[in-house]
Amino acid sequence: MAIDKEVLDQLLVGRDPQELSVKDGLIDDLKKALSERLLAAQLDDHLESEAAAGVGNRRNGTSQKTMLTGSSKVSLGIPRDRKGTFDPKLIARYQRRFPGFDDKIISMYARGMTVREIRGHLEELYGIDVSPDLISTVTDAMLETIAEW
pLDDT tens, residue by residue, 94-149: 887 665 554 565 566 657 877 788 778 767 766 566 677 776 776 666 666 666 66
Q: Sign of the C-alpha dihedral, residues 110, 113, 118, 120?
A: negative
Distance CA 34, CA 124 (A): 20
Position 148 scores a pLDDT of 67
Rounded to a whole number of angstroms, the distance between the first and last alpha carbons of the chain is 15
Would you tell me how many other CB atoms lie within 10 Å of the CB of residue 4? 11
Give the model's pLDDT for residue 102: 47
Q: pTM, whole model, 2 decimals?
A: 0.64
- Percentage of the chain modeled with pLDDT above 90: 23
Which of 39-43, 91-95, 123-127 has the highest average model confidence (pLDDT)?
39-43
Helices (H), 13-131: 26-52, 101-111, 115-126
